[in-house]
Each structure stands twice: as C-alpha cells, then as structure tokens.
Amino acid sequence: MTASKHYHAVIWLLWMMGVTHHSVTASERQITVEHTDALYAAIQDANRVGGNTIIQLRRGLYTIHSPIIISSPGITLQSESLDPADVILRGPGMMQSNKPFSLIKVNASHFSFIGITAEKAPNHIIQVAGENNADYPHFSRCILKDSYEQLLKVSHRPGHPEASDFGVVEHCTFAYSAGIGPQYYIGGIDLHLGQHWHIRNNQFYGIASPARRVAEHAIHLWYNSGHIAVENNIIINSDRGIGFGMADKGNLGGTIKNNWIIHADNGHPYADAGITLESSPDTHVSGNWVLQYHAYPNSIEYRFPATQRVVINENYTNKRIRRRNGGGASVTNNHNVEALSDLNVTQLVERFPPEYRPAVRQAVTK
C-alpha cells in the first residue's frame, strides 16, 4: 500500500469509529443548484477544477438525460435538506438501452452521494469504476430504485488489479417499486474485487426475477473481493439475500452479521437461499435472522472446497443451514424460529421509506 493510500486508510478507519466527520473545509468549494442544467454545469465545473467540490441540490426533480460522469476526486452530491424525498434524479426509464446509460458513473476517488433519490436507469443507477481505482466512495441516506440492471455496480476489469476499496454504504434503500424486477440480471449492490468496504444499516426490497433465472443477490461481493463487513441490513422479498463469492470467483474473509432476511410466500418464481458463501474462506456469519416462507429448503448455504475456516453461529432460521459441494464450516448454536415478534416487525417496517411500509409489513407478518 502506498503512503498516500495508507494515510487515507487511517482517516477512513477513524471516520468509521466516529472520530471524524465530513464538513466543508477551506480547500472545498460549495455550489448550490436548483435545476437540471445547473446540475450538469456544476458537475462539469467540479471536474474541470480538479474536484474537492460539494454540489448541494435544492428540492426538486432533476431529469437525467445523459450520464453524469465524475472524473475528479472529492466530489459530493447532496440534497440541501439531506432528505432523499426532497431531491429526485430521474433517468429515462427502466428499459434496455443500445448504449451504456447509468445515471452516475464514478471514475474518481472520494465521491459522496448523500440524501438523494435516484431512479429509472437503463443500466445502473450508479456505477463505481473500480477499474479506474475509484476508492473511498460514500453513500448515505439515499434511495436507489428501479434500474434495468444492478442498482449499485462496483465494477473492475478482469485480469487487472485495480479496484474500488474502502467504500461505505449506510442508511440507504435499494428497491424495485413493483416488488419484482424487470428481468433477472438485476441486483442491489454488486461489487467486484473491492476490499475493506462496510455495508451497514441499509434496506432492500423486491430484488427478484420475473422470468428465466434467479436474480443476483441484494448484496453480492465476489470476483476476489475481501475483508468486507455486511451488518444490520434488512432484505425483504429478494430472490437471494447476501452472497459472498460465486463459484470459483470467490471472496476472502469478512463478516455477515445481524442482518434480517425475510421472504414471504408470494409466488416469486426463483426464491432461493438467504445467505450463500461460495469459495469464501475465513468468513464469519453470525446473529442473522433468515425467515423464508417459500419452498426453497435452505436458509444458509456454504459451498465449494475453497470455503473453509468459516464460522456460522447464533443465527435464527426457519430452514436448513446446509453444506454443499465440499464446503467447510463450524456450525454452532444456531436456532430454529418461525416468526418475528410484533416489536421486530415494527422496527423493521419503520426502517423503510413510507411508500414501501405496507408491502414490507405484509411480507414480514406471517
């Protein structure tokens, strides 16, 4: 790790511990915008001057007619109120496109997206380009919904070492408003190769395939990702909840802790396991609730010979915890449960934005 990256890693760790906070510094510029043309102009200006700019969006609807490209470091997009209900970035629609069209493409480090709703993308709502070493992205209090492909994509270039590392996703909602996606090639957070992310206190709803094959996970870390913490997230009516690794494109270490994964018996054709480890050694899975009322028989699965030295303990499930294809784990002190308490239901429902609460309540009430 270079000296610069080591320094920033220390700052990131302090921030994670609550020691530091983001505030406008003397080196940062701030621009306030209130309509679409001004937003595009502010992005262009921030990229031109080398970044370090907070772009504050006043209440309103912003029509995204071409992808927003972030090419300089330290750019923040945030709503003036920090309430995602007040600012909406709306793309051309949740439909297949002849050319790449994510609402936002992040090609630089230290990008932040705070208190904004972004919706209706032909590809992804946001793509973080790990192939361009776009480290330290931060997503907080935002809503990403209704894209034709994965809502938040963290990409990489196969065969190359560059990745997006040290990301934080917190207090965000990822959803398909109809309760099911437009096709199978969808997901909530799809992360390749990234290291040392923290994904915490988020909500996911309706990451489910309507046809052909199973959707990707609500949270999926793979293609040699590693050392990632996934904690205290709620995943409702999604084909697959949390996945570390896929086949031989695995993941190293990390924790899956205190998450809530619930799927009603609602007729989704490809409902699958709540937590899956595939070629994910040294991973700790604990304190999770996985309640599935559909026909799939397993709540948690650990698969393939590379999955070794795994700990699965103190989880609460109504289906099996199953070893598959040569996986290895210490499986201890897990518990069988059939339903949530009334208090649990209330706490989970209230984490979601108001428009999703009736459907979520129906899903979590057996």
The whole-number pLDDT of residue 28 equals 85
Within a 10 A sphere around the Cβ of 225, how many other Cβ atoms? 29
Q: For the chain, 366 residues long, give each residue's pLDDT as a single digit of tens.
A: 444 444 445 444 544 444 333 445 557 899 999 999 999 999 999 999 999 999 999 999 999 999 999 999 999 999 999 999 999 999 999 999 999 999 999 999 999 999 999 999 999 999 999 999 999 999 999 999 999 999 999 999 999 999 999 999 999 999 999 999 999 999 999 999 999 999 999 999 999 999 999 999 999 999 999 999 999 999 999 999 999 999 999 999 999 999 999 999 999 999 999 999 999 999 999 999 999 999 999 999 999 999 999 999 999 999 999 999 999 999 999 999 999 999 999 999 999 999 999 999 999 997
DSSP string, 4-70: HHHHHHHHHHHHHTTS------TT-EEEEE-SHHHHHHHHHHHHHTTS-EEEEEPSEEEE--S-EEE
DSSP string, 75-111: EEEEESSS-TTTEEEE-S-SS--SS---SEEE-SSS-
The whole-number pLDDT of residue 25 equals 54
Contacts of 7 (CB under 8 A, 6+ apart): none
The whole-number pLDDT of residue 314 equals 98
The whole-number pLDDT of residue 366 equals 75
Tell the residue number behind the tokens 């700790």, with chain if given. 284
CATH topology for 56-364?
Answer: Pectate Lyase C-like (2.160.20)
The whole-number pLDDT of residue 18 equals 41
Within a 10 A sphere around the Cβ of 236, how many other Cβ atoms? 29
| Token couple for 42 | 């502010």
Provide the residue ranges of all domains of the chain, joining segments of one domain with +: 56-364
The whole-number pLDDT of residue 299 equals 98
